[in-house]
Structure 1
């Protein structure tokens, strides 16, 4: 299944590569830790095993001397209770991503959002009957959670407490680099990422294989169907030329329901170090199979690709969720 393209509108969302070259411990060695009553295998002697999301930057500098840590030096971590004790924000030091934004059936998107969430945010309608979804493939090559891959499928929404003006809201988010969404699906390829995401961030994560292949022109993500063990979704993303090396800060936020049934929000601030975008339909190709994720995506009636983003280098800080009432009270 190949999805075409039209005029660009806005940039949206926000097994790992082999263990980083600077890692001292083979990825095959693991140890079991407890997170909120879950027995979770982690890399033995890895960052999470040693520091539980709070490694000193001096350790990162020693293990990854090629990584610029200047941005993180201005960010303070705080101990938080996320259903387990952790630190916020969670740091992602060396990462890459590719994103494609497609039109989708807006009534189906509304149907998939909980009524409680819809009271505060709704899908942005770009033209009659059509909303937007963002499909993003992430490779977190070195972070507080060691390394892993993740696939995010999100509905593009208005910001809580603000009007939903469709394309006007979308343009406003694009200009401010402050994007909002509701996360539909979020498969990951490590148990650590799954448990932390489900318990700590109230996100729809599950564990499955996510393999990455690269050549001179493309980076390809193969997403495995967890039920059959076969490749279900393939995302072939072009390596765009004319990369901008200008630092760009982007905020990606989500609204959802927490473990107590209350509205919550979370966000990540990303420092994009190398990035490019395109509205050319040939820049990315999404191939859907017959597995669970493909079937779900087909139900969205995906249409034209509005924008593609190639971000081979970025850093990020993911903040612990907070009650949505706190955000709305600030505005």
Structure 2
């Protein structure tokens, strides 16, 4: 891993800027907007977009017509159900064409423990990989075509044990890696559309806020720039290498999180991803994390990041995000 301290560029990004990878999807800032009501919030959406027309439940025939290059076979096996998550929606939420990169770093264990609420800490704890060190995962997503139109998202999460399972540190980590079933506690989750923010905060109890997230790439790397919402300047830069030896064997990966809902009840949620093109590396030179002086950079610096354990490059994946449920229901079923 390489940390850089490049001076913050005075770039004011549009809060609803679309991913530069979404070549076939109309960019939100170039199109007209409509308004929808979600849990009492008036939310701007892409006029004529999937959400404006179908509110998280578009027929797959529409997707096939509008995105004929997307393989919908996996989604045909999944059934959506109507749910009340503070507003009427459908679960799972479908993400048809997406890209992501993930860098996993060591971090100060005591700091990580202090950031998890006491109620959650009774169920899950940070995995200790060696004395005094836990793990955080920094993931940058470009959702190019999904039920919520298109948007970018950055996730900063603590890697934890699964609720109800013993925390065995490296043994638990190996077990999760082998089963492709990962658990965490989400610390930060900035997004660049108001639709993604409101749905995430109200419906999924996630720490989302609205800010600019720009994506650019060349033949060798991908760069995510995260804007500080207070100053309008780029605060965090994540530059990652495009790995060459990609596997095109589809694999299913589950990422789950534990948190607290708006009533104080412990809940869990999860997303299943179908990774269609993917590669990984442990070479620290494959990731460059640039931190400046904004709020997110300051937060990340306080984690005392150390060695990069793993980098994952996933230029093509699909996903199904399920509505949160009471944690006790999962514990009772096992």
Q: What TM bracket, shorter-length normalisation?
A: over 0.9
Preserved CA contact (<8 Å) 1:3 1:281:
no
Partners of 2:152 and 2:121 lie apart in 1 by 29
Partners of 1:107 and 1:274 lie apart in 2 by 36
Map 1:70-89; keep pairs closer than 5 Å: 70-89=73-92
Q: Does 1:150 align with 2:158?
A: no
Partners of 2:3 and 2:333 lie apart in 1 by 40
Partners of 2:104 and 2:167 lie apart in 1 by 19
Match of 2:47 among 36, 44, 47: 44
For residues 173-224 of structure 1, the C-alpha deviation after alignment (integer angstroms, 9 at most, x for no partner) is 0000000000000000000000000000000000000000100000000000
Partners of 1:110 and 1:320 lie apart in 2 by 26
When the two structures are superposed, what TM-score results if normalisation uses the length of structure 2? 0.94
- TM-aligned CA distance change 1:25 to 1:183, over 3 Å: closer
Match of 2:2 in 1: 2
Q: Does 1:176 align with 2:179?
A: yes
**Partner SS for 2:209:** strand
Q: Does 1:57 align with 2:60?
A: yes
Q: Does 1:163 align with 2:171?
A: no
Match of 1:274 among 272, 277, 281: 277
Match of 1:207 in 2: 210
Preserved CA contact (<8 Å) 2:25 2:144:
no
- TM-aligned CA distance change 1:202 to 1:25, over 3 Å: closer
For residues 287-331 of structure 1, the C-alpha deviation after alignment (integer angstroms, 9 at most, x for no partner) is 100000000000000000000000000000000000000010111
Partners of 1:24 and 1:68 lie apart in 2 by 22
Match of 1:16 in 2: 18
Q: How far off is 1:28 after superposition?
A: 2.6
Preserved CA contact (<8 Å) 1:3 1:303:
no
Q: How far off is 1:26 after superposition?
A: 7.6
**Partner SS for 1:228:** coil
Structure 1 unaligned segments of length 5 or more: list them: 5-14
**Partner SS for 1:188:** coil
What is the number of residues matched between the two proteins? 321
Preserved CA contact (<8 Å) 1:22 1:64:
no
**Partner SS for 1:206:** coil
Preserved CA contact (<8 Å) 2:3 2:291:
no
Preserved CA contact (<8 Å) 2:213 2:225:
yes
Partners of 2:291 and 2:29 lie apart in 1 by 34
Partners of 1:305 and 1:330 lie apart in 2 by 36
- TM-aligned CA distance change 1:156 to 1:25, over 3 Å: closer
- TM-aligned CA distance change 1:186 to 1:98, over 3 Å: same
- TM-aligned CA distance change 1:302 to 1:57, over 3 Å: same
Q: How far off is 1:21 after superposition?
A: 2.0
RMSD over aligned Cα atoms: 1.5
Match of 1:329 in 2: 332
Match of 1:287 in 2: 290
Preserved CA contact (<8 Å) 1:188 1:210:
yes
Partners of 2:275 and 2:216 lie apart in 1 by 22
Q: How far off is 1:244 after superposition?
A: 0.1
Q: How far off is 1:3 after superposition?
A: 5.3
When the two structures are superposed, what TM-score results if normalisation uses the length of structure 1? 0.95
Partners of 1:16 and 1:291 lie apart in 2 by 22
Match of 1:192 among 171, 190, 195: 195
Q: Does 1:235 align with 2:266?
A: no
Partners of 1:77 and 1:137 lie apart in 2 by 26
Preserved CA contact (<8 Å) 1:27 1:43:
no
